[in-house]
């Protein structure tokens, strides 16, 4: 309805101008308005395109900087937020991510070696390169992994003891 009112007003305005001006003057004015509108659109488009790379690179630099600061502070959910990677806020640690898997399944041992992935592997690489920066976060990762390994070991011990009891009975 609002659009219809505007269309009616435009038409009435054109009709009134048409009454007072000859057709040549209306055509000339219309052409000048179109040229002005084209110039404005071209100017806006040029400004947007000319500044886009600079604005985009600044935005990416800011988001990456904030992500690195959050990572070094040990706040992975904040890091992921700045990178817009994971809406769940997964930290790579069992204490920061609710999963249905038991703790012993969260940090698997593959071929006799502790398997590290994702945020845990990234923090390990950074800790090895810059030990003084995030030692506390690496310690927290290792404590979580030790809890996982202890739980895995306890589970294996229980299974072994249960197998022995079955074999002896």
Span 53-111, pLDDT tens digits: 888 888 888 888 888 887 777 677 777 777 765 455 454 444 444 456 676 666 777 77
pLDDT at 37: 81
Q: Which residue has the higher pLDDT, 163 or 1?
A: 163
State the pLDDT confidence band at 162, using cuts at 50, 70 and 90.
very high
pTM of the model: 0.31
pLDDT at 163 over 60: yes
C-alpha span between 71 and 66 (Å, rounded): 9
CA 31 to chain centre: 47
Q: How far is it, in rounded angstroms, from Cα 7 to Cα 17?
A: 15
Q: Where are the domains of the chain?
A: 1-89, 99-169
Q: Report the alpha-carbon distance of residue 37 to residue 30 in Å, rounded.
A: 10
Return the structure tokens found at 86. Answer: 């994971």
């Amino acid at each position: 309805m609002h659009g219809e009112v505007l269309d009616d007003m435009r038409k009435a305005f054109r009709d009134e101008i048409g009454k007072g001006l000859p057709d040549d003057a209306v055509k000339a004015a219309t052409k000048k308005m179109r040229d002005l509108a084209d110039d404005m659109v071209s100017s806006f488009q040029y400004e947007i395109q000319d500044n886009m790379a600079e604005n985009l690179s600044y935005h990416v630099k800011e988001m990456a900087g904030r992500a690195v600061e959050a990572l070094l502070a040990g706040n992975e959910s904040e890091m992921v937020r700045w990178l817009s990677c994971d809406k769940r806020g997964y930290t790579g640690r069992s204490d920061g991510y609710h999963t249905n898997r038991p703790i012993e399944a969260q940090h698997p041992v593959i071929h006799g070696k502790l398997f590290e992935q994702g945020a845990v592997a990234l923090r390990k690489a950074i800790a090895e390169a810059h030990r003084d920066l995030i030692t506390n976060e690496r310690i927290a990762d290792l404590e979580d992994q030790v809890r996982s390994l202890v739980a895995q070991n306890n589970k294996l011990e229980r299974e072994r003891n249960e197998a022995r009891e079955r074999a002896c009975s």
